[in-house]
Chains A and B, each alone.
Chain A
Amino acid sequence: MALPIEPRPAQPGRVLGRVVRRKEDPRLITGTGSYVDDLRLPGMLHMAVVRSPHAHARITGIDTGRARSMPGVRAVITGEEVKDLCGPMPVGWSLQGLKAPVKYPLALDRVRHVGEAVAVVVAESPAAAADGAEAVQVGYEPLPAVTDPEAAMQDGSPLVWDDVPNNIAARFPLSGGDIEDAFRKADRVVKLRLVNQRLVPVPMEPRGVVAQAHPISGELTLWSSTQIPHILHALLPGLLNVPETRVRIVAPDVGGGFGCKLNLYAEEILAGALSLKLGRPVKWIERRSEHFMATIHGRDQINHVEAAVSGDGRILGIRARIIADIGAYHQLLTPAIPTFTPFMMSGVYAIPALDVEVIEVFTNKTPTDAYRGAGRPEATYLLERLVDTVARELGLDPVEVRRRNFIKADQFPYNTVSGLTYDSGDYEGALNKLLEKIDYEGFRRQQQEARQQGRLLGIGFSTYVEICGLAPSRIWGALGAGIGGWESATVRISPAGRVTVVTGTSPHGQGHQTSWSQIVAETLGVNYEDVEVLHGDTAVAPHGLDTYGSRSAAVGGTAVYMASVKLREKARRIAAHVLEATVDDVEFQVVDGQGRFHVKGAPQRHVTLAQVAAAAFTAHNLPDDVEPGMEATVFYDPTNFTYPFGAHACIVEVDPEDGRVKILRYVAVDDCGNVINPQLVEGQVHGGLAQGIAQALYEGVVYDEQGQLLTASLTDYAVPTAADLPSFETDRTVTPSPTNPLGVKGVGEAGTIGSTPCVVNAVIDALAHLGVRHIDMPLRPSRVWAAIQQAKASGGGQPA
């Protein structure tokens, strides 16, 4: 069935910065995409995982006899055999003094969280594998579990790992400026204790893997629903003891990631190992209940904050103790994520002193790792709740307090107290644009009137900056990363003049096929439709560092742009030769949507890019110092991060009878630098807002005191539906990044980072006159209602 996939009538060659129809969509809207679970290979076996029902227990024995004898079961592997199959799970980040206990893909003698993999069964069908897994008998001797990180740090607490005293995996201090001086000078000290609750990422496609080892050659192809095929390619061969030259990793269509697929998981290692062992393809598809217990969680910090504040609302310094509950062991980047928080803790404000200690604590829970924002939402939440609290305690307007503390537009590049250099920004500009869109004074009047009628309205603000474009490799290495931060791109022009782009980024919803095509079409003067983008397959795109941390546009997009320019320059040299002119006399121009080279001052003497490409391939008449072919590869390593920012406002109504929060308006002004495609940027903002609002109002992982996971399905864990969210009002300011030639910054996480404190600030604003100072997230009706009742009971309110 041929579908009419009509190009949007964009002006040919003029596509950068405009809306074009996504190239990804025709397959995805017709059900012809290819996600991992859609793969069916001859002889394919299916893997099921036996998981721990206990938060903490000693394994007293595993009886696999019955499982092995069941129809269709081909293999059962437990911790006893796992060491023969693969190496331990790598930790991709180092910190001074980090305790990183050795962890294999299967538990060896002890389980440390509900859902930890204990054994796997491989069988001829998914049902046979599931039946086999049920038949594996595991003996457990339960041990005392620890689920509260503050309790875990106390002497005498149960130990998750016997050789990690007080369960402390790492301490990470970060300070700058003179904090003692700040507190000496302070007119007031404002204190807060905040819980940034644990979240589950929940991409709509669960994880999954298919491993296919060639039974004779041992070549291994592994398809995974992952954000990081290249990083897997760097790690898996060593763990499986296979030469990396015989391993190919493919990320096919990937149904969302949000950080949780920026990891190397036990199941990927085991599927690879078992395919190598059995000589047949092995497939594993995560069940949603497994996602809740065996895919990384996000956030989970307790913040003890105190700020030294002057009488006019200036923040002179922040002292904070961040207790990060990292769960039972390290996944790939577990130790890194909480350390990003202090770096961003001065935010959009000129705060002269900072003194933070991050304490990473093991508990009997699922490991934490990157979830959309990864350490930055925690910083912004802490800071924006703090600024609002400062305003309230000093009786100042929260907008005015923000203005007084802002880094000014003429102060960029700005060196923060935490050691970063913000590239560009205009925080007041974004705030001003936001205020134009909301009638602030009018709202305050409305709020007063509503209070007279017993209605509770509130407005919240959030002004944020985030760090994107990961990463300058040298800085990344100094921080502890096990990898670099560059990105690669190859651009090649066929003899017919069409373009293939090979990128090292690995999209999972972002639309890189679309946006990279836009960059190339614009730079080379070719039709958007004549550009193909290949990604996510290490055999096709051998060099890359994948997609996370809003890095792809700023680093990967820049690499694509630079490869296009490099190729254009080669073409110019060939064009000069063909036109019998000097290279300096030949100019590139896009005429009628077609890239061409002409002699300066003589536009009639020209050759098209397609003609040059043909000449490069026939090579009949090339300059002596020019190689045949039209292909260029660039490895781009950024010199700095990028720092998108924005200003958000949220207006809520709280029902005093039941504590329900309704968002009446959500207005977001974001600045992600130059924009490649406004529609894709808006889409990223929408999705980010949804997840940030979800943290504020709905989502939260709940464990009981024994470490049982009470939120293990979509029944218990409140991922918002369409009816739970408002329509967002979005706008932008544009402050290009000076860090890269495209001037782009990144937008994948902005909405999430900005929105969470904005919503909470709005709810507290609605309740502050009753005496409510803070409510920990998620602001479920029961919590809000209880806070109202408590405030009323203690008579803490002021007259409306």
Chain B
Amino acid sequence: MSQDSRVRVRIRVNGDVHEHEVEPRLLLVQYLRDVLGLTGTHVGCDTSHCGACTVLLDGEAVKSCTVLAVQADGGEVTTIEGLAQHGRLHPLQEAFWEHHGLQCGYCTPGMIMSALDLLNRHPDPDEETIRRGLEGNLCRCTGYQNIVRAVQAAAARMRAAEAAAAAGGGDD
């Protein structure tokens, strides 16, 4: 691939704007991992099945192995590295830790990002909704049960935080 065919992209990742010349064939996941060094987003398959590479693009979960970096041009990406805010873990991260929602941890970043997308759409999901909502993310260690528990616990915490914020309370 010659340098001439490179394309300039401008992508906001976890709040910071990045500009690079990239090959048109470069996948978003490769951009995140290899260009930006954000290795928290993992690759687990070649066929967009495993979901380990899930990130948020403009607020929606995408499998970053199925998106070209050039397609994300002008967009806003959130990866697992951008989830903790002000030195504080996101409720989903807390809940995965508390409820043993991970073992080897390889699927975890993608799983958490998918769960975040799910909770954005369904703030109070039942077990069935969580299981269906996470169908695009494979985990081989946990049997999913503690992931379901973690997502339920995080949902409760996020709703409580929202209610407190709406009532004019402090953060969280």
Contacts and interface: CB of A to CB of B under 8 A. Distances in A.
Contact of A4 (B1, B88, B109): B88
B39 to A, nearest CB: 4
Interface in A1-36: 1-4, 21-22, 24-35
B98 A714 contact: no
Nearest to A508: B104
Contact of B140 (A256, A680, A715, A728): A256
Nearest to A690: B143
Contact of A722 (B87, B112, B130): B130
B59 interface: no
Interface stretch (A203-211, A405-413, A588-596, A781-789): A203-211
A679 interface: yes
B165 interface: no
A1 B76 CA distance: 21
Contacts of A285: 43
Interface size grouping (class) on chain B? 35 or more
A288 B141 contact: no
Contact of A687 (B43, B112, B131, B142): B142
Contact of B104 (A4, A26, A37, A255): A255
A10 to B, nearest CB: 13
A314 interface: no
B63 interface: no
Interface in B44-97: 44-47, 49-50, 52, 79-81, 83-84, 87-89, 93, 96-97
A253 B52 CA distance: 15
Contact of B105 (A25, A127, A682, A715): A25
A722 B151 CA distance: 12
Interface in A770-789: none
14 contacts: A30-B89, A203-B106, A204-B139, A255-B42, A255-B105, A256-B140, A256-B141, A258-B140, A686-B143, A687-B142, A688-B143, A721-B136, A722-B131, A722-B137
B46 A28 contact: no
Given A37-B39, A258-B140, A288-B44, A722 B147 contact: yes
Contact of B44 (A206, A691, A728): A206
Nearest to B45: A288
* Residue picked from B40, B127, B144, most chain A C-beta under 10 Å: B144
Given A22-B100, A29-B93, A686-B146, A204 B140 contact: yes
* Residue picked from B25, B37, B49, B143, most chain A C-beta under 10 Å: B143
A254 B38 CA distance: 18
A32 B52 contact: no
Contact of B97 (A21, A37, A719): A21
Contacts of A33: 40, 105
A690 B148 CA distance: 14
B134 interface: yes
A30 B144 contact: no
A31 B89 CA distance: 12
Contact of A204 (B41, B52, B148): B52
Given A3-B84, A256-B141, A25 B130 contact: no
A689 interface: yes
A282 B148 CA distance: 39
Given A26-B97, A204-B139, A719-B138, A31 B46 contact: no
B41 A31 contact: yes
Contact of B103 (A3, A127, A511): A511
Interface of B: 1, 25, 33, 37-47, 49-50, 52, 79-81, 83-84, 87-89, 93, 96-98, 100, 102-109, 112, 127, 130-132, 134-148
B100 A204 contact: no
Given A3-B84, A37-B33, 20 more contacts: A1-B87, A22-B100, A29-B80, A31-B109, A37-B43, A127-B1, A203-B104, A204-B106, A253-B105, A509-B141, A680-B100, A686-B143, A686-B146, A687-B142, A690-B142, A721-B144, A722-B144, A722-B147, A723-B134, A728-B145
Interface in A328-349: none
A38 B47 contact: no
Contacts of A26: 97
Contacts of A271: none
Interface in A700-732: 713-715, 719, 721-723, 725, 727-728
A722 B45 contact: no
Contacts of A277: none
B97 A22 contact: yes
A713 B47 contact: yes
A690 B107 CA distance: 16
Q: Which 5 residue pairs are nearest across A and B when measured between Cβ atoms?
A: A31-B40, A255-B106, A28-B105, A509-B104, A690-B143
A722 to B, nearest CB: 4
A160 B52 CA distance: 38
A110 B146 CA distance: 47
Interface residues of A, number: 61
B104 A683 contact: no
Given A30-B40, A35-B42, A713-B49, A723 B100 contact: no
A289 interface: yes
Contact of B45 (A253, A691, A714): A714
A203 to B, nearest CB: 6
Contacts of A687: 103, 140-143
B37 to A, nearest CB: 8
B44 A204 contact: yes
Contacts of A34: 39
A721 B146 contact: no
A287 B46 contact: yes
A114 B138 CA distance: 26
Interface in A32-66: 32-35, 37-38, 40
B106 A35 contact: yes
A30 B104 contact: no
Nearest to A225: B106
Contact of B89 (A29, A205, A509, A683): A29
B160 to A, nearest CB: 19
A13 to B, nearest CB: 22
Contacts of B104: 203-205, 253-256, 508-509
Contact of A727 (B50, B84, B98, B127): B127
Contacts of A722: 130-132, 134-135, 137, 139, 144, 147-148
Contact of B49 (A205, A510, A714): A714
Contacts of A31: 38-41, 79-81, 109
A202 interface: yes
B98 to A, nearest CB: 7
Contacts of A1: 84, 87
Contacts of A205: 42, 44, 104, 106
Contacts of B146: 682-683, 686
A22 to B, nearest CB: 7
A48 to B, nearest CB: 13
Given A33-B105, A204-B50, A722-B135, A25 B97 contact: yes
Nearest to B49: A714
* Residue picked from A37, A254, A508, A721, most chain B C-beta under 10 Å: A721
A26 B102 CA distance: 11
B100 A713 contact: no
Contacts of A206: 44
Contacts of B98: 21
